[in-house]
Amino acid sequence: MRITVFTIFPELIEAACAPSILGAAIERGLLDVRAVDPRQYTEDRHRKVDDIPFGGGAGMVMMAQPIATALDTALASEESRPRIVFLTPGGVPFHQDLARDLAREDAIFLVAGRYKGVDDRVVRAYATDEISIGDYVLSGGELPALVVIDAVMRLLPGALGDFASAEDDSIHSGLLEVPQYTRPREFRGATVPEVLLSGHHENIRRWRRRQALARTLARRPELLARAELTAEDRKLLREIEADLDAGRETEASGGTASE
Ligand code: ADE
């Protein structure tokens, strides 16, 4: 997959793409991430990329021409029209389903605006998608672009190697992640849930599923309505609800060494 990010801070994208799983995916050729600076495409000699908003107001608006020319230039070397995503707090909320959808594309353009945003005429002319990563305002679309890149990269076949799989991510099936523990078995008097030390794979699987359901019910109940639930899940949920009614703990807390 090819991802091109349009940003006046290409070094932000380049720096974040070097290390970790993302860097390894790029190294292995699963993903190619390029940053294009619209400042390279300005037509005035001061290389101006922003200007004051018509109608007044604080902040600067990114001018249409440098971004439009940068997009046209990049489009000329694409065989088919890529998805063109503008990152903006006014976009549709980013979600695992949207990541899955984007992961099927051959090429994606991500446009990271700065200041007060991008001249709307360029958004109207080019955007196939407008995405927000959450209801807060950042200084620009670069971090949101990296969030999208990371979430999409994890879904590319082979990106996570043999040891992990995106299907194991429980949010992938619509539930929250389960609590995890590693050595030592005891830390500051807190122990690890016994079942995880038992080596009994079926009991562990069932415990984890129950934890994912209990956590989701407690923290994000609205996710349960959309999750893909099996007959076993529904049974576990009834047990969890019975525990809640009886005032019993439903989420893991491990234990204490003195128990
Ligand atoms: N640009 C600034 N804030 C943003 C957000 N929350 N999501 C996407 N793009 C943004």
pLDDT tens string 8-42: 999 999 999 888 888 888 888 889 999 999 999 99
Beta carbon of 88 within 6 Å of any ligand 1 atom: yes
Per-residue confidence band for 255, with pLDDT thresholds at 50, 70 and 90: confident
What digits encode the pLDDT tens for the residues 36-48?
999 999 998 999 9
Q: How far is CA 99 from CA 64, 93, 130, 134, 151, in A?
A: 27, 11, 13, 15, 6
Identify the pLDDT of residue 209. 95
Quick one: pLDDT at residue 6? Answer: 98
CA of 88 to the centre of ligand 1 (A): 4
| Domains annotated on the chain, with CATH | 2-163 (3.40.1280.10), 186-254 (1.10.1270.20)
> In the beta sheet, which residues pair with residue 87?
112, 131
What DSSP line would sit under 165-210, residue for residue? -GGGSGGGGTSPPPP---S-SEETTEE--GGGGS--HHHHHHHHHH
Output the residue whose Cα is nearest ligand 1's atom 4.
89
For residue 132 and ligand 1, the question of a CB distance below 6 A is answered with yes
Question: Which residue has a Cα nearest atom 2 of ligand 1?
Answer: 138
Nearest CA to ligand 1 atom 9: 88
Mean residue pLDDT of the chain comes to 92
Q: Is 117 in the pocket of ligand 1 (CB under 6 A)?
A: no
Name the band, by pLDDT with cuts 50, 70 and 90, for residue 169. low
- Helices 142-153 and 10-17: crossing angle in degrees, nearest 10, is 30
Distance of CA 92 to the CA centre of its chain: 13
Helix (H, G, I), strand (E, B) or coil at 7: coil
pLDDT per position as a tens digit, 116-159: 899 999 999 999 999 999 999 999 999 999 999 999 999 998 88
Which single residue is written with the structure tokens 């003195």?
Answer: 258
Instruction: Kindly report the protein residue whose alpha carbon is nearest to atom 5 of ligand 1.
Output: 89
